[in-house]
């Protein structure tokens, strides 16, 4: 990096870190993707003006920029590319406005997801999208990846919560999209274009997001089944009865066994698959009773809880799934989505891939959305060939079943080849044209997504 450029960056106000330890710690994300060449510098910004200055300078000097929030991504989206600046937005963590009557919050990009939810709860409101990483991910990262979570089956993913954005474009211009109102259809929907764009089209520096009332009650049911086919059929029966759970999770036998091994529980003794459902709102108790009845028809065990403590106990199995798997090896966290009607085929197809490749795969799903997380566990510093083979087979399976190679984690660095297969040439070229229009020099998060 030229001395002039570095001095100009520092004069613009942000903290510029060049020492190897600081730079190395911001070079990768939770995908664990190794980085051969360290970034030129990490630039920590505290204001919109600082972000604009950094992007203006990077544009002038044709230096690539990788935006970064909490670094919790698992698709390699925030992984540094050779010769880049890492633009760390974590210091911008103010909730600028929280309007309880309009049920809207205006936030900076570095606000931690769980902090916004906690602030909203002081007013009887919640921020509905709930990635399991809410304690470590940022709103900017959630918006850039269109993050999902367990509550999304009822409340929708991040896109449904975002009303408007402030975005700094590749040349430093500030663009305002959308609005602060709950409705509004003036012009093309640029907000949706930036949601899920993984830092390739612009840098999110502010967001107006929708809050929702905290449901009066939340209650839980759990049921065990002989196998994933019966469990998936029970989830389909819930949908057919037009019941609307606020959470619907399905765990397969290997997952139950690894939780038992790690936590000393006896889940696998109850059946070969577990379904956990929640209902919320004023009719929650009546609704969970109906859900439990539907689940109970084919279940080997069913229980429902109406108080918070026992609800949390039933949900604990799901929360412990990933930590339990990680106790026994490295975990490649995968993420596919299939039509809900193909859920059983997806689980069985993944089990067949595990047998064929000889790798350990633990699968659980946001069953209400058809979004599966097959977790491939291995015990080696480098990802072994058979793990790559199994992951590729899982993506192929998702496409064969009419699904997608990512339900919520994004394409990032790791699934680019698969985006090409899923989207097809015309879609890919349209996406590339949008990229060229907004970032003609290909400086924003190059090598990601497209
Ligand atoms: C244990 C664990 C559980 C997880 N559970 C879930 C889950 O339930 N649901 C889910 O969807 N994901 C989950 N994830 C993945 C991850 O947490 C999400 O993708 C999250 O949205 C990333 O947020 P972040 O702030 O950490 O972003 P980062 O990892 O820093 O960045 C992610 C992407 O967003 C871009 N980006 C970041 N900030 C901005 C910005 N301000 N403007 C423009 N681009 C930006 C980056 O360039 C990168 O492409 C999980 C991850 C872990 C480790």
Query: What CATH number has the domain bearing residue 183?
Result: 3.30.465.10
Kindly give the distance from the C-alpha atom of residue 137 to the centroid of ligand 1, in angstroms, as a whole number.
Answer: 6
- Confidence (pLDDT) at 275: 98
How far, rounded to the nearest angstrom, does the alpha carbon of residue 448 sit from its chain's CA centroid?
A: 16
CB 211 within 8 A of CB 158: no
Answer yes or no: is 439 within a domain. Answer: no
Q: Which residues, including other chains, have CB under 8 Å from residue 285's CB and lie 6 or more apart?
A: 217, 219, 279, 306
Give 145 Cα–ligand 1 centroid separation in angstroms: 6
Query: Residue 1 has what pLDDT?
Result: 55
- CA–centroid distance, residue 26 to ligand 1 (Å): 14
One domain, residues 203 and 102: yes
> Which residue ranges of the chain lie beneath pLDDT 70?
1
Q: In what order do the strands lie in the sheet with 203-210?
A: 95-99, 104-107, 203-210, 162-168, 174-178
Answer yes or no: are the C-beta atoms of 222 and 276 closer than 8 Å. yes
Distance 283 CA to ligand 1 centre (A): 34
Instruction: State the Cα–Cα distance between residues 161 and 177, nearest whole angstrom.
Output: 14
CA atoms within 13 A on the CB side of 363: 31
Q: Which domain CATH number covers 37?
A: 3.30.43.10
**Kind of pairing, strands 85-88 and 41-44?**
parallel
Q: Which residues on adjacent β-strands are paired with residue 274?
A: 224, 251
* CATH number of the CATH domain containing 253: 3.30.70.2190
Q: Which atom of ligand 1 is nearest to the CA of 29?
A: 29
Q: Is 445 helix (H, G, I), strand (E, B) or coil?
A: coil
Statement to judge: residues 181 and 247 lie in one domain: no
Residues 220 and 316 in one domain: yes
* CA dist., res. 172 & res. 55, Å (int): 5
Q: Ligand 1 pocket test: which of 115, 131, 447 has the largest number of ligand atoms within 8 Å of its C-beta?
A: 131
Provide the domain limits for residue 352.
Answer: 329-414
Q: Which residue has the tokens 């602060």?
A: 180
Domain-terminating residue out of 56, 88, 120: 88
Q: Where does ligand 1 bind, in terms of residues with CB under 6 Å? A: 29-30, 66-74, 77-78, 89, 109, 131-133, 137-138, 140-142, 144-145, 147-149, 198-199, 203-204, 322, 408-409, 412, 445, 448
- Ramachandran region of residue 144, left (φ > 0), alpha (ψ -120 to 50) or beta? alpha
CA 19-20-26 angle, 5° bins: 100
Of 55, 88, 121, which residue is a domain's last?
88
Residue 419 lies in a domain: no
How far lies 341's CA from each of 279, 347, 364, 396, 401, in Å?
21, 12, 16, 18, 10
In the chain, how many H helices and how many E strands? Answer: 16, 19
* Calculated CA dihedral for residues 124, 125, 128, 132, nearest 10 degrees: -60
Whether 57 is in a domain gets the answer: yes
pLDDT of residue 230: 98
- Residues 227, 240: one domain? yes
Q: Do 102 and 208 sit in the same domain of this protein?
A: yes
Going by alpha carbons, the residue nearest to atom 7 of ligand 1 is 131
Q: Which of 324, 343, 368 is the last residue of a domain?
A: 324
Contact 195, 140 (CB under 8 A): no
Q: Residue 307's pLDDT is what?
A: 85
């Amino acid at each position: 990096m030229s001395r002039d450029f570095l001095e100009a960056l520092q004069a613009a106000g942000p903290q510029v870190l060049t020492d190897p330890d600081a730079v190395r710690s911001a070079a990768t994300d939770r995908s664990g993707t190794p980085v051969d060449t360290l970034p030129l510098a990490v630039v920590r910004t505290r204001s919109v003006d600082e972000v604009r200055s950094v992007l203006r300078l990077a544009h002038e000097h044709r230096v690539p920029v990788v935006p970064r929030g909490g670094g919790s991504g698992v698709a390699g989206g925030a992984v540094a590319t050779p010769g880049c600046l890492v633009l760390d937005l974590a210091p911008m963590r103010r909730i600028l406005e929280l309007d309880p009557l309009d049920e809207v919050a205006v936030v900076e990009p570095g606000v931690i997801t769980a902090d916004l939810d906690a602030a909203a709860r002081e007013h009887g409101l919640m921020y509905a999208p709930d990635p399991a990483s809410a304690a470590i991910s940022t709103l900017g990262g959630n918006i850039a990846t269109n993050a999902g979570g367990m509550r999304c089956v009822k409340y929708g993913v991040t896109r449904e919560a975002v009303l408007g954005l402030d975005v700094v474009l590749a040349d430093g211009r500030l663009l305002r999209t959308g609005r602060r109102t709950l409705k509004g259809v003036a012009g093309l929907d640029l907000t949706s274009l930036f949601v899920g764009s993984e830092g390739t089209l612009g840098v999110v520096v502010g967001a107006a997001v929708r809050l929702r009332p905290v449901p009066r009650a939340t209650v839980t049911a759990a049921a065990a089944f002989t196998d994933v086919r019966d469990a998936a059929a029970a989830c389909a029966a819930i949908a057919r009865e037009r019941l609307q759970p606020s959470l619907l999770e399905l765990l397969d036998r290997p997952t139950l066994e690894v939780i038992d091994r790690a936590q000393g529980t006896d889940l696998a003794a109850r059946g070969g698959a577990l379904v956990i459902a929640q209902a919320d709102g004023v009719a929650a108790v009546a609704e969970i009773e109906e859900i439990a009845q539907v689940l109970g028809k084919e279940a080997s065990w069913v229980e429902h809880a109406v108080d918070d403590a026992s609800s949390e106990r039933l949900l604990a199995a799901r929360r412990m799934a990933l930590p339990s798997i990680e106790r026994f090896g490295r975990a490649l966290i995968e993420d596919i989505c299939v039509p809900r009607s193909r859920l059983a085929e997806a689980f069985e197809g993944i089990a067949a891939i595990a047998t064929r490749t000889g790798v350990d795969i633990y699968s659980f799903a946001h069953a209400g959305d058809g979004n599966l997380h097959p977790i491939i566990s291995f015990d080696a510093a480098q990802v072994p060939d058979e793990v790559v083979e199994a992951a590729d087979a899982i993506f192929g399976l998702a496409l064969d079943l009419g699904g997608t190679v990512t339900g919520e984690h994004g394409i990032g660095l790791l699934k680019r080849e698969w985006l090409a297969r899923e989207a097809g040439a015309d879609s890919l070229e349209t996406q590339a044209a949008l990229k060229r229009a907004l970032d003609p020099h290909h400086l924003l998060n190059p090598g990601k997504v497209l």
